[in-house]
Amino acid sequence: MATQERPLSPHLQVYRPQITSVMSILHRATGVVLALGALVLAGWLVAAASSPGAFESLQAVLASVPGQVALFAFSACLVYHFLNGIRHLAWDAGHGFDIPKVYASGYAVIALAIVLTAVLWYFGFTAGGAA
């Protein structure tokens, strides 16, 4: 029996990135970052519960420049994922499915994520959050 050749789907390189595909990929990627950050948070809690030395060691790692960059990335991912989740909830309620609204809400989520992350870090540093 002869096998019929099936058409192949085009590779991802054929497609031009659109705001909808970028937002979807970012939502999944930020979910992965948040899962990894939850492990760091659990380690921080275990260190706090185990001994002052372990807690101070982890605090020193998080206060270093790479630690601060990781915390900034985690907070940016948290804000973005939260806002994009609200966007998805609006879609679940049946709102915002028109293409112009989808694009507008996508750009709004990106802009708000940048602004809210900056505000969060501003207040964190000015309210005595940084030593």
CATH of residue 62: 1.20.1300.10
Residue-averaged pLDDT of the chain: 91
78, part of any domain = yes
> Per the annotation, where are the binding residues?
81
Confidence of residue 33 (pLDDT cuts 50, 70, 90): very high
How many CB atoms lie under 10 A from the CB of residue 113? 21
In a domain, 65, yes or no: yes
The answer to the question of residue 7 being in a domain is no
**Residue 82 and residue 31 in contact, taking contact as beta carbons nearer than 8 Å:** no
Domain boundaries, position 45:
20-126
Question: For residue 72, what are its two tokens?
Answer: 């900034």
pLDDT tens-digit map of 47-75 = 999 999 999 999 999 999 999 999 999 99
Q: Which residues are part of a known binding site for heme?
A: 81
Report the distance separating Cα 18 and Cα 24, nearest Å.
Answer: 10
54, two tokens: 């372990």
Total structural domains within the chain: 1
**pTM (predicted TM-score):** 0.83
Residue 2 within a domain: no
Query: Distance from first CA to last CA of the chain, Å, rounded?
Result: 75
